[in-house]
Structure 1
Amino acid sequence: MSERLVTALGRPPSEGSGSIPEETGAPADAPLFDEDLQLSLFTCYQLHYSGFEGVDEDWEWNPRLLRLRALLETRLEWALREETSGLGRYVERSGTATETAARLGEMVREAEGPSVSAFLRKHATFGQFREFVQHRSLYHLREADPHTWAIPRVTGRTKAALVEIQADEYGQGDHRRMHSELFRTVMRGLGLDVRYGAYLSVVPAVTLALNNTMSFFGLHRRLRGAALGHLAAFEMTSTGPNRELSLGLRRLGVAAQVRHYFDEHVEADAAHEQIAARDMCGVFVMENPELERDVLFGAAASLLLDRLWAEHVLRHWREGASSLVDRPWTEAVP
Structure 2
Amino acid sequence: MGRGGAKGMHGPMLTRTTATLGLTPTIDTTLWQSLCLANVMTAFATTRRYVWQSIGALGVVELTAPTRVACVDAGLKRVGVAAEARKYFALHAQLDIEHSKAWNAEALVPLVSEDPSRAKYIAEGAVMRLICGEQCFDTYRAHLWAHAHPLVYAAE
TM-score of the superposition, structure 1-length normalised? 0.42
Q: Give the one of 258, 268, 272 matched to 2:99.
A: 272
User: Separation in 2 of the partners of 1:188 and 1:303?
Assistant: 29
User: Separation in 2 of the partners of 1:255 and 1:175?
Assistant: 19
Q: Could you say which residue in structure 2 is the equivalent of 1:34?
A: none
Residue 94 of structure 2 aligns with an amino acid whose one-letter code is E
Matches within 5 A, 1:218-257: 218-257=45-84
Shift of 1:174: 1.8
Shift of 1:231: 0.6
Matches within 5 A, 1:90-129: none
**2:3 is aligned with 1:172:** yes
Q: Could you say which residue in structure 2 is the equivalent of 1:285?
A: 112
Q: Give the one of 311, 315, 322 matched to 2:138.
A: 311
Shift of 1:217: 0.5
Deviations 1:235-273 (A, max 9, x none): 111112212211211111111111111111012101111
User: Separation in 1 of the partners of 2:123 and 2:71?
Assistant: 27
Q: Secondary structure at the match of 2:28?
A: coil
Residue 173 of structure 1 aligns with an amino acid whose one-letter code is G
TM-align CA RMSD: 1.5
Residue 34 of structure 2 aligns with an amino acid whose one-letter code is T
Which protein is bigger by CA-based radius of gyration? 1
User: Separation in 2 of the partners of 1:192 and 1:290?
Assistant: 45
Matches within 5 A, 1:3-152: none
Q: Secondary structure at the match of 1:302?
A: helix
Residue 12 of structure 2 aligns with an amino acid whose one-letter code is E
Q: Could you say which residue in structure 2 is the equivalent of 1:184?
A: 15
Residue 296 of structure 1 aligns with an amino acid whose one-letter code is A
Shift of 1:278: 2.5
Q: Could you say which residue in structure 2 is the equivalent of 1:119?
A: none
**2:41 is aligned with 1:199:** no
Shift of 1:176: 2.3
- Greater mean alpha carbon deviation, residues 247-256 or residues 294-303: 247-256
TM-score of the superposition, structure 2-length normalised? 0.88
> Number of paired residues?
148
Gaps of 5+ in 2: 149-156
Q: Secondary structure at the match of 1:172?
A: coil
Q: Secondary structure at the match of 1:171?
A: coil
User: Separation in 1 of the partners of 2:14 and 2:89?
Assistant: 9
Q: Secondary structure at the match of 2:119?
A: helix
Residue 199 of structure 1 aligns with an amino acid whose one-letter code is T
Q: Which has the higher helix share?
A: 2
Instruction: Give the direction of change, closer, same or farther, for the CA distance of 1:319–1:191 in structure 2 (3 Å limit).
Output: closer
Gaps of 5+ in 1: 1-169, 322-334
User: Separation in 2 of the partners of 1:264 and 1:287?
Assistant: 33
Q: Secondary structure at the match of 1:301?
A: helix
Percent sequence identity over matched residues? 26
Matches within 5 A, 1:205-224: 205-224=32-51
Instruction: Give the direction of change, closer, same or farther, for the CA distance of 1:172–1:246 in structure 2 (3 Å limit).
Output: same
